[in-house]
Structure 1
Amino acid sequence: MKHSDKQGRTLRILTYNVHRWLGTDRQISPNRITDVIASCNPDIVALQEVRVGRVRPGEIDQAASVASALGMDLHFQPTIRILGEQYGIAVLARHSSRIVRCGRLPTQSTRQSFEKRSALWVEVEVEGQTIQVINAHLSLRSGERRTQAAALIGPEWIGHPDCTGPAVLLGDFNAPPYSRSYRMIAHRMQDAQLSNSFGEPQPTFHTRAPVLRLDHVFVTKSIEVVDAGPVRNALTRVASDHFPLLAELRVRKKPAVAVGSKAKEGVLF
């Protein structure tokens, strides 16, 4: 990724569907995912399809072990509980962080759903700057996905009064750019990959033959995108069926207010 020589600290944020730690070689390896994440040197990580696993004597919590190896705090939201195991979404942060909200996204199904599509909102403090981070994994069904996308930009999530500062909405949206659910979010927020150094946005799925752009990082106007794009190398091609998507961001400085001016300070979306 390119690096800016402008003043101001950049924030490295990663979204990654880790496919239950299962690689394309059919091997389950949380350690391999840890190596992928570490190589990206992120400040914040949003994970989808996280497998926690049974915690029995002699066994470890896989998600916790990954976070511990990375030296990051772990916030986990289960979407599936089955036979003593949990799967879900997670946010890892290298800085002080707290969960603001976690909950299920709306469904159109009247039947009991195997997976409860959810979102996880974490507030992260980075060198005195507060960043709102919302991780989501949306439905495979288009109609339901639109309902979930509408909820994410609605008053309980991105549209919430506590989310008016710099905010990032990211995850596996199962929504290519031509889909209505993608356009719904992109109309409200900036797609970080539109400002990448590759010339045009790059697909994130499948790692064996990348043709679909399903994973996204969206930001509010108070955030500048320095660069964004999938991380492709020998390790990421086998570690999961999705490529990790890395974005380098910078919070825009609030404009100075002239003495005697009644203009309000700040840039909001």
Structure 2
Amino acid sequence: MRGEPIEGQTEERPRIAAEAPNSVASRRLRLVTYNVRHCRGTDGRVAPKRVAQVIAVLEPDIVALQEVDVGRARTGGLDQAEEIARLVGMFAHFHPALHIEEERYGDALLTHLPSRLKRADALPGLLQRPGLEPRGALWVEVTAGDVALQVLTTHFGLLGAERIAQAEALLGPDWLGDPACRAPTVLLGDFNATGWSRAYRRLSRRLTDARRLTGARRWRGGASFPSRFPLLRIDHVFVSERVAVERIAVVDNALARQASDHLPVLAEIRIGPG
């Protein structure tokens, strides 16, 4: 599947997969995590094509999206996951954390690489706060060369206790505790949690913040929210052993500042030998 040309897209370069068809260790993969706020920009306009343009110029292999609308009246009934995937030349996996009749809202993973869904499910909230927005997670196995990369994305809640419960669930046997996650694994998304939070620290016991592997201190720089005046680093990329991080950067340009209230985060990784 190939996407249609998007205004502002850079000249197409050979895809990473063409560099070394049988070995992932000799090439890098580009990952993006992006809370798109149902494609409603800071100007109030809903524009999936604009979000796709932000993504396309980064030439990613895998994209994790949060706050994606599918069939919702507020965004014209469009399947945003499929539309963005079509525009950037990828395939989409989608999980609705919220499902009301025909309207859905949740997380998506896009990739041009071979992939298969491993798990898509809800994450716990707080029993004493039944009105909280439901949260979920999505796990897709992506085949890159001769290696299976486990890719998980999520969007944590706004309350500290809620985020701790969700982090514990992700660390449990249904997710990161599954034997399949002994393989190279990446967890990325909007965690609504800074580097000082308890939820962040719990996840950091199992995985490593990709930013720390580039030599950056976790508490300095890297802010991605709000997009117009970034102050908070709450969009994270965590990696397991055997995943080397060559670069991580917040994509901060005029279009990205307008397309959503979050800025996308780009990570370039290499998968090392077992």
Shorter-chain TM range is: 0.7 to 0.9
Distance in 2 between residues matched to 1:205 and 1:76, nearest whole Å: 23
Paired residue secondary structure (2:231) = coil
Distance in 2 between residues matched to 1:188 and 1:71, nearest whole Å: 33
In structure 1, runs of 5+ residues without a counterpart are 1-6, 254-265
In structure 2, runs of 5+ residues without a counterpart are 1-24
TM alignment of 1:92-111, pairs within 5 A: 92-110=110-128
TM alignment of 1:3-152, pairs within 5 A: 8-54=26-72, 60-82=78-100, 84-110=102-128, 112-113=130-131, 115-152=133-170
Aligned pair partner of 1:206 in 206, 222, 226: 226
Is residue 194–residue 201 contact of structure 1 (8 Å, CA) maintained in 2? no
After superposition, what is the alpha-carbon deviation per residue over 1:183-239, rounded to whole angstroms, capped at 9, x for unaligned? 111122110122348775411101111110000000001100001121111111110
Distance in 2 between residues matched to 1:227 and 1:156, nearest whole Å: 30
> 1:256: which partner in 2?
none
Task: State the TM-score, normalizing by the size of structure 1.
Answer: 0.86
Deviation at 1:245, TM superposition (A): 0.5
> 1:230: which partner in 2?
250
> 1:249: which partner in 2?
269
Deviation at 1:109, TM superposition (A): 2.7
After superposition, what is the alpha-carbon deviation per residue over 1:149-179, rounded to whole angstroms, capped at 9, x for unaligned? 1111222111111111000011000000010
Distance in 2 between residues matched to 1:59 and 1:120, nearest whole Å: 22
> 1:191: which partner in 2?
209
Paired residue secondary structure (2:138) = strand
Distance in 1 between residues matched to 2:147 and 2:221, nearest whole Å: 28
Distance in 2 between residues matched to 1:147 and 1:114, nearest whole Å: 13
Distance in 1 between residues matched to 2:78 and 2:225, nearest whole Å: 29
| Total equivalences in the alignment | 246
Distance in 2 between residues matched to 1:97 and 1:187, nearest whole Å: 27
Aligned pair partner of 2:193 in 167, 175, 197: 175
Aligned pair partner of 1:164 in 182, 191, 203: 182
Larger Cα Rg: Structure 1 or Structure 2? 1
Is residue 244–residue 272 contact of structure 2 (8 Å, CA) maintained in 1? yes
Deviation at 1:85, TM superposition (A): 2.1
Deviates more, 1:217-226 or 1:181-190: 181-190
- The RMSD of aligned alpha carbons is 1.9
Deviation at 1:107, TM superposition (A): 1.6
- State the percentage of identical aligned residues: 47
Deviation at 1:59, TM superposition (A): 6.5
After superposition, what is the alpha-carbon deviation per residue over 1:105-161, rounded to whole angstroms, capped at 9, x for unaligned? 112234544532100000000112110001011010100111111111222111111
Distance in 1 between residues matched to 2:58 and 2:207, nearest whole Å: 24
Distance in 1 between residues matched to 2:201 and 2:238, nearest whole Å: 11
Distance in 2 between residues matched to 1:197 and 1:39, nearest whole Å: 26
> 1:260: which partner in 2?
none
Corresponding letter in the other structure for 1:185: L
Task: State the TM-score, normalizing by the size of structure 2.
Answer: 0.85
